Amino acid sequence: MVAKRKKKYESGEGAQYITRKGALKKLQLNLKDFRKLCILKGVYPREPRNRKRAQKGETSIKTLYHMKDIQFLMHEPLIWKMRDYHVFTHRVKRAKALQDFELMNRLLKNHPTLQLDHIVKERYPTFVDAIRDLDDCLTLCFLFSTFPSLKHVPREHSLMCRRLTVEFLHYVIEARALRKVFISIKGYYYQAEIKGQTVTWIVPHHFSFKPHEKNEVDFSVMSHFVEFYIIMLGFVNFRLYHSLNLIYPPKFSDLTVEEIDKTLADEEAYVAERVASLNTNLIKNKTFTEEEEVIVDQFSLSEDPTKLDLARKEMEEISNLKKLFEGLKFFINREVPREPLTFIIRSFGGQVSWDKLLFVGATYPESDETITHQVVDRPSVDKQFLSRYYVQPQWVFDSLNARKLLPVENYLMGCVLPPHLSPFTETLQSDGYIPPEQKALEGEEDAAEAEEESESEEEADETKVDDEEEDDDDDEKEESEEEEEEKGIGVIDEEKANERKEKKKKMAIKVGEIAKESPFSKKREERQQYRLREKMVIRKHRGLYRSMIAGRAERRKEAWLLSKKRKRIDEEKKAERKALKKANKSEEKT
């Protein structure tokens, strides 16, 4: 029997993709519910290889989805809940129109709710998968925690975001998982290491909320993401707290239950309470056992043994970083942002306090003599103590990024601060621009390494000299023994003696002459070898190789322009300082 021939677009890309209009018709949903379902299930539009074939001959650009994704959505039980919600809204409207308020109240009490627990388990089968996707979740939850109740932002979502984000910050403090911080216009960039995965998120600056006049942001779509992220972050916090054997939800040792549960109408009071909670310790279970330190194996299966040394060095740096502020006590002035500093200092073992008359949660007063550092962001202070350093807030951030306590001379009160360098930039690229301050920091490490190398070379030279002296002594002893034997035995033929002397002369080590290579010929040879390697690139990879070379040239040009701009700025500052000195001298003379 002859197989039936398929019609056009019944196979291939024409059958693999479906338009959004066709998906709405297949699922029997409106556009709003379809968007929400796709956000919750993680289904996004696809870009086909040949758009004309995928759109069955149409040339206009349309939103396309994969047919398998739409078939996957057809079996989702949330669709029935959405349909029940539409029936519920129609019944409430009808009861309100008929003024049957008893029925309306009964319907409102029994309204349908969406259960998203199974979707979290479906999208993240393992706990590590959830941590890998935690960046966007934390950034959006921290953003929504600063919002008041808006038209498309329910008050319940903002309150849950506030609670869950504070719980996550407490876990980072207890686990000492923070690694990098950077201050930008958008907010504070944080990076933590959780279960071997790097998690980066942004915490916006705390300003009073100002609504936008134009509807530039679709808050309804963002609220759908937050609705899913709240459930996800709740599960993640639960697992993280139990991994440290902490009680969840967290219980604080210093604050009472009444202080935590009371509702605050004032936003400033709420922020003060949140910072106060960050400065308190969590209650741990009685059966808590400290985690054992990770020990790197002394053998490695990889061919490159330097990887093991780098891993051991990185582990030592992280272990020292976790104890960066241990034994230090900080006092924060009222003009300094307290929340990021409290979070950072406590994440590395330090103690923090502030004025108890202005904010709640202070642990010790300003007059305490054991305070080592006072964080100040003003040019002068009325009363100063000789037993502490008065530093600016940037010292805390730069010390964390440098993984060591930097000298406080450049960060004292009233000093012009050095540039705040980003720890997220890759300085390993030789083509990119590296600021002179970063070069100075790297130069200190290079100088220490060079000193160690020079010391090791000197020790090796000394051992070589000792070995040569021992060899000379051995040769002299052998010659003396040979002379005694010749005297005792008698006369030896002169021919044999001459042959022996000639052999010794041939075996003697002569000092060689150093061959001087011209740098021009060396560069020319390297250039020729580089061109030969370029010719060996496969034809299908030549386009990628050319784009890499072009990108490298652009980075070099950008680095050159930035270095030129930096030189011009430094020259302008130098000229201003000279002009100021001349003006001061002329004033003194007059």
Give me the pLDDT at residue 94, please.
93
The CATH number covering residue 343 comes to: 3.40.50.10190
Peptide bond into 48 cis (omega under 30): no
Question: Which residue is associated with the tokens 């600021």?
Answer: 435
pLDDT of residue 397: 94
Cβ 176 vs Cβ 346: under 8 Å: no
Q: Does one domain contain both 350 and 395?
A: yes
In the block, tokens 């051991």 appear at 312
Is 214 a domain residue? no
- Please report the pLDDT score of residue 191 as a whole number: 95
Sequence-distant (6+) residues with CB within 8 A of 120 are 130, 228, 231, 232, 235
Same domain, 236 and 92: no
Please check whether residue 369 is in contact with residue 385, taking contact to mean a CB–CB distance below 8 angstroms.
yes
What local confidence, expressed as pLDDT, does residue 271 receive?
72
How far lies 85's CA from each of 41, 80, 132, 157, 404, in Å? 19, 9, 33, 19, 57
Can you give the pTM of this predicted structure? 0.76
Q: Same structural domain for residues 65 and 127?
A: no
Residues 148 and 104 in one domain: no
Instruction: Give the chain's domain count.
Output: 4
In a domain, 491, yes or no: no
Instruction: Give the Å distances, CA to CA, from 312 to 295, 316, 401, 419, 443.
Output: 9, 6, 19, 31, 22
Residue 394 domain-assigned (yes or no): yes
Asked if the structure places residue 556 within a domain, the reply is yes
Q: Judge if 103 and 124 occupy the same domain.
A: no
Provide the residue range defining the domain that includes 267.
Answer: 117-207+219-278
In the structure encoding, which two tokens stand for residue 70, read together? Answer: 């739409």
Indicate whether 347 and 247 sit together in one domain. Answer: no
Q: Is residue 95 part of a domain?
A: yes
Taking alpha carbons only, the member of 123, 5, 8, 120 closest to residue 55 is 8
DSSP 332: E
* 137 and 241 housed in the same domain: yes
Q: Give residue 120's pLDDT.
A: 92
C-alpha to C-alpha distance for 361 and 339, rounded to whole angstroms: 12
The answer to whether residue 470 is domain-embedded is: no
Residues 401 and 433 in one domain: no
Given a cut of 50, the residues of the chain with pLDDT beneath it are 255-265, 288-292, 299-301, 428, 447-448, 450, 465
Pick from 362, 374, 363, 383: nearest CA to 328: 374
Check residue 122 and give its pLDDT.
Answer: 92
User: 396 and 346 in one domain?
Assistant: yes
- Cα–Cα distance, 223 to 228 (Å, whole number): 9
Within 10 angstroms of residue 480's Cβ, the number of other Cβ atoms is 10
- Amino acid sitting at position 154: P
What residue type is assigned to position 314 of the chain? E
